[in-house]
Amino acid sequence: MMARKLDALVVGAGPVGLNMAAALLAQGLHVRIIDSAADRAQESRAIGIQARTLEVFEISGILNEFLELGHRLNGVTLYGETGAEIGHLDFGHIPSRYPFILTLPQSETERILGDHLRRSGLEIERQTTLISFEQSDFAVFAKIALPDGRNEEICADWLLGCDGARSEVRESLGLQFAGKTFDLHFLLGDFHAESTLSEDHAHVFGRPEGLLAFFPLGKGRYRLVADNPPEQLRSEKKPTLSEWQGIADGRSSTQMKLSDLGWTTYFRVNSRMVERLRRGRAFVLGDAAHIHSPALAQGMNTGIQDAWNLGWKLALVQRCFAQPALLDSFERERLPIEHNVLRMTEFTQNMITAEKRSNRLLRDTLLPILSGINAFQKTATKTVSETVIEYRSSPVVEDHYAPDGPHAGDFAAGALVSRPGKNGKIALATLFGREHVLLCLATPQSWQDGLQTVKPIFELIHKHYGQIITPYFILPNEGLAAQSDVDVLVDVEGQFAQQYAASVLYLVRPDGYIAFRCLAAKQNLLQSYIDKYFLPL
């Protein structure tokens, strides 16, 4: 007998699937998440968590545990053919409240995310496999294999394929996974290491013998990655501690003593992606949609951004609060970013692993010059941290003139605010996640006129869109807030005023990106935008 209809079935319980399920649960949808594995990842696997992903975790309310367990990297140091330092990337340039890369084993990331799901009332269904599915215009009909050997038929409105590089969902949809396999062989391993290298930086050696990358994990643990391993290691055979020590001795310009070898594996790099992220009522996300070089730690982070982008859109359509056309923007927004990630990681891999001596000499000549240029540091760190991502050209973003501040399509800059009458500061990001948030900053001199200006649009929102949009008037102090008769936030440290223009309406999406911007006096433009994309209660 078929169980009651689901809003969504998530296939795959890696970091992407877990975030996908969490995003839908936060919107109140009825979700199931299945995975063929008996348990979460036990290996370290993906270890780098970028600033934009940390901002997502802040919106989700789970950031603190990541910060407590993870190890912060403040930069990357590059060493050239002779072993001398040739360049440095300083993550202090990242335009975020989290200007660093956090290293944490994927096993811990999955544990934190899985615990978050369980607290939300959802258990991961392990040893449960998607056998097949069909879809109509109105539903997806899936057959799954349960741990006890029985099969179950499921009817869901949507199917989310987060099932990795060998995705059954992608194969069933007939999506081509176009790209190439690089003629490069890699080893990675986790160790305890004794070294004079700083633990707050990653270290990458590009020697004639090959690449050696050294990523601190905290408490004396490190991830090592090497390309072009000796011939006997170019197989599924796992290298021994002594073989790893030999690689480190031959490629590092500083002595390091390795011990306590943990997970180690051999791999080759593919660079592939699908041409479509959706067919009918089924989507593919994360490694099911794109795989590439692990250079710059982009893979897991890009997949999490996929899930975060789609979750709120799917929920609004499913709850009949938004036009179905909103879902078309997922592909329009994410495909260009995924193309860029593939190009960027391929370029970075080729630069660092340069096998020809002429290419190494060119790299070693240019990098010292580039890393000393402030503009290069800003651009490179924004790219690595994924804070460069914006959706200004999205079909569901609308930007009108404002004298200053972020544009529609940009990520909403972070700030600390407080609620009138309540002690303590809160991060602005904690207001996002479930609803759209409308923000309008007032100055001490013009707050009364500003209040009268925004009242009509605030009243319209409360009357017709109160379940999906929450408006806030931003004031500089509690004294003025006490005199206001609308929902107010206090800009306790002036951070909001430093980053946003006054008397401008900013409509922020649940994923933290600005959907719309216009002058408060032209609020009819906002009303037209809301009428275009949202359905009144």
Report pLDDT digits (tens) over 120-134: 999 999 999 999 999
pLDDT over 70 percentage in the chain: 98
pLDDT digits (tens, 9 = 90+) for 67-103: 999 999 999 999 999 999 999 999 999 999 999 999 9
List, in sequence order, every residue forming a beta bridge with 71; answer none if it has no partner.
Answer: 103
DSSP 401: -
pLDDT > 90 fraction of the chain, expressed in percent and rounded: 87
pLDDT attached to residue 236: 64
For residue range 324-370, list pLDDT tens digits in order: 999 999 999 999 999 999 999 999 998 888 888 888 999 999 999 99
pLDDT at 356: 84
**What are the residue ranges of helices labelled H in 319-446?**
328-352, 357-371, 374-385
Cβ contacts of 115 within 8 Å, gap of 6 or more = none
Q: How confident is the model at residue 1 (pLDDT cuts 50, 70, 90)?
A: very low
Contact 288, 273 (CB under 8 A): no
Say what the alpha-carbon torsion angle 513, 516, 517, 521 is, to the nearest 10 degrees. -140
3-state helix, strand, coil in the chain (%, to 5): 35, 30, 35
User: Please, what is the average pLDDT of the chain?
Assistant: 94
Relative to beta strand 488-490, strand 469-475 is: parallel
452: left (phi over 0), alpha (psi -120 to 50) or beta: alpha
Amino acid sitting at position 163: D
Q: Locate tokens 């490694």: which residue? A: 287
What is the dotted CATH code of the domain comprising 398-533?
3.40.30.120
More confident residue, 296 or 3: 296
- The C-alpha atoms of residue 257 and residue 262 are separated, in whole angstroms, by 15
The full set of domain ranges for the chain reads: 6-44+105-175+275-353, 179-269, 398-533
Please identify which residue in the block is written with the tokens 């001490």.
444
Question: Taking CA 187 as the corner, what is the angle to CA 185 and CA 189, rounded to the nearest 5 degrees?
Answer: 170
Query: In this predicted structure, what is the pLDDT of residue 365?
Result: 94
pLDDT band for position 116 (cuts 50, 70, 90):
very high
What are the pLDDT digits (tens) for 486-512?
899 999 999 999 999 999 999 999 999
In whole angstroms, give the CA distance from residue 196 to residue 255.
Answer: 8
Model pLDDT, residue 295: 85
Identify the pLDDT of residue 480.
Answer: 86
Q: Give me 187's structure tokens.
A: 């080893």
Distance CA 360, CA 177 (A): 32
What whole-number distance in Å separates Cα of residue 294 and Cα of residue 77? 17
* Rounded distance between C-alpha atoms, residue 327 and residue 439, angstroms: 24
SS (H, E, C) 284-325: ECHHHCEECCCCCCCHHHHHHHHHHHHHHHHHHHHCCCECHH
- pTM attached to this predicted model: 0.95
Tokens of 274: 């699908």
pLDDT at 234 over 70: no
- Separation of alpha carbons 9 and 4, rounded Å: 12
pLDDT recorded at residue 229: 74
Tokens of 43: 């290996």
H/E segment holding residue 246: helix 241-251
Side chain identity, residue 15: P
Residues 234 and 254: beta-carbon distance below 8 Å: no
Tell me 137's DSSP state. Answer: S
Angle of helix 357-371 relative to helix 374-385, nearest 10 degrees?
110
- Mention every residue, 6+ apart, whose C-beta is less than 8 A from residue 101: 48, 49, 50, 51, 72, 73, 91, 202, 297, 384, 385
Handedness of CA 420, 424, 427, 430 (dihedral sign): negative
Distances (CA, A) of 519 to 391, 402, 442, 474, 486: 20, 6, 12, 15, 19
Q: For residue 519, is pLDDT > 70?
A: yes
**What's 179-269's CATH class?**
alpha beta
Nearest partner of 481 among 436, 515, 450, judged by Cα: 450
Distance between CA atoms of residues 304 and 382, nearest Å: 17
Question: What's the length of the chain?
Answer: 537
pLDDT digits (tens, 9 = 90+) for 357-388: 888 999 999 999 999 999 999 999 999 999 99
Measure the CA–CA gap between 516 and 504, rounded to whole angstroms. Answer: 10
CA-to-CA distance for 76 and 82, rounded, in angstroms? Answer: 18
Pairing type for strands 140-145 and 129-135 reads antiparallel
List the one residue out of 55, 60, 46, 49 whose CA is nearest residue 115.
Answer: 60
Check whether 483 has a pLDDT greater than 90: no
| Contact call for residues 264 and 186 (beta carbons, < 8 A) | no
CA 385 to chain centre: 9
How many angstroms separate the CA atoms of 289 and 468, rounded? 30
Say if residues 172 and 253 touch (Cβ distance below 8 Å). Answer: no
210 closest CA partner among 411, 37, 352: 352
Class of domain 6-44+105-175+275-353: alpha beta
At 136-194, the pLDDT tens digits run: 999 999 999 999 999 999 999 999 999 999 999 999 999 999 999 988 888 999 999 99
